[in-house]
A and B are shown apart, each in its own frame.
Chain A
């Protein structure tokens, strides 16, 4: 056993066998191994994995096969028919609407959160602290609780039943977390770098462009991922602020499919799968960013 460290026991399996090799060399990079957590992770794998397995396999079966053999059986004769059915509905319109809403929301949130974060971190005044506290308070304003006034405002702005009606409130309710994330990232930029740039005569716009934005890239990516997730998955705002088929987004479309595919569960689940795939692809690339950015929220 040359390198003990790279051969840690697999999840949850305690090391069997004889006494361990003399452990003098490992004393300072001890494995932070945690058996209860390892065990929990295995259980959780089952709890998450089984429903997802059922989800995917169900979509590969015909309706009759599904009704006959239940959710967990292995499809004998896989078919993509369900996905065809979904694409023959208005699914692509919903997808396009959701994409527009997502991109627009993320764009608005990034621009506003960056400028707010920059002000909060770099302006040394009581007011900037107050601004930050407004957004901390905003963390806890539930969209559910204010939906009636939002509906009133959107109607008064003559935006009801437009994509903007979804985009604007969604962006507003994504701002607090985004500001907290970005303020956390920007605070870690070395103070002396600002000062030396200022000494070179850079104004605040230039400092923002050439120092703050490049050095906050990880926070900005996190905000983009977070805002996109919020926009992509939002249900309440579309449900209440839009009406016609032309403005329908994916989540609302899924909800409608319940009626449309009433007894055709495999087709319904195929729509569910298709609604998850695009965001999952984005996530696979941005996972690291999301994790590192959320440290600022969850950490010290």
Chain B
């Protein structure tokens, strides 16, 4: 590498290759792409994601049947939303589902990820099996679980009596159906978060463990004193993706329980879907969707703040 590239200005970069932000005048502008490079992608993203996000807010102030033109109705949808007991229940169920998913998925994914980042031999084969749910669609998995939870012919007919459902009708029971959604969604998404933790754990410098070992720390102590603090960012990223991902439990709910029994598993995205595309009440559905956007955007801003993603540091910095 010609150190003479910018004569007189450089102290040689450390060989780690970490890219540090230098004052822009230190390097020449030659060979830098103009902002124009990003325009096609940006326009595309704006058309299908940013504009819809704004449009959904606008539509929440209208009445629209899906055909014809939306009609301005002001705050009618919102005052209706405010008093809708179904909506209140849906928000509560969504919050509950998201919170419990986090409590359930995070420890399991963390442990599995740290384990999978190790060097034991059978790991490759086991990982392939572990991660299978990651590959299948929510539809495929929901169908698999629906058949396993069928009270007449499924697995649940055999094990139901042991977990408090003598007739095996887990999906017909309010709490049972909710637990089933929670379990199936976790079953499906834990592998993804495991993958994140595996990646994070692999990046922890070995020297930290060596130092901890020399200081006499055992495995458990090392986990809590080295692994966990080093994975802080991963925990944040994974948690945020989990919260946003909880909205995609929609697919699972649609197939597994159809929101029932009654409305006992009707979470916010499902309520939005039925309101918009079954009842063709698109304006009201947009108001429900706006709430989803607000939650998700709030979480996203939190992500940018907490992880320092936006600081654009090298992933290898500090190693």
A280 pairs with B48, CB closer than 8 A: no
Taking a contact as CB atoms closer than 8 A, the residue among B37, B131, B318 that contacts A118 in the complex is: B37
Residues of A255-300 whose CB lies within 8 A of B? 255, 258, 265, 268-269, 272, 275-276, 279-280, 283-284, 287, 290-292, 294-300
A116 pairs with B42, CB closer than 8 A: yes
Size of chain A's interface in residues, with CB distance under 8 A? 133
Q: Which residues of A contact B195 (CB under 8 A)?
A: 290-291, 294, 298
B41 pairs with A269, CB closer than 8 A: no
B115 pairs with A145, CB closer than 8 A: no
Bound-state Cα–Cα, A22 to B42, Å: 61
Asked if A41 is at the interface (CB within 8 A of a chain B CB), the reply is yes
Q: Which residues of B contact A116 (CB under 8 A)?
A: 37-38, 41-42
Bound-state Cα–Cα, A108 to B24, Å: 32
Greatest chain A CB density within 10 A among B32, B114, B210, B244 is at B32
Chain B residues touching A, majority SS? helix
B197 pairs with A134, CB closer than 8 A: no
- A119/B120 contact (C-beta < 8 A), A172-B44, A180-B309, A183-B312 known: no
B199 pairs with A149, CB closer than 8 A: no
B143 pairs with A254, CB closer than 8 A: yes
B140 pairs with A173, CB closer than 8 A: no
Q: Which residue of A lies closest to B186 (CB)?
A: A47
Ordered by A's residue number, 18 sampled pairs between the chains whose C-beta atoms are within 8 Å are A31-B119, A71-B155, A123-B34, A134-B42, A141-B293, A142-B269, A149-B55, A180-B309, A189-B19, A195-B27, A195-B28, A198-B30, A250-B137, A254-B140, A258-B255, A287-B131, A298-B234, A300-B318
Q: A144-B273, A295-B200 are in contact. List 13 more A-B contacts (CB 8 A).
A: A44-B112, A44-B130, A58-B147, A116-B42, A122-B32, A123-B32, A139-B303, A141-B50, A145-B56, A204-B34, A233-B139, A252-B139, A268-B147
7 shortest interchain CB distances as A-B pairs: A198-B31, A140-B300, A298-B196, A295-B199, A172-B48, A37-B115, A233-B137
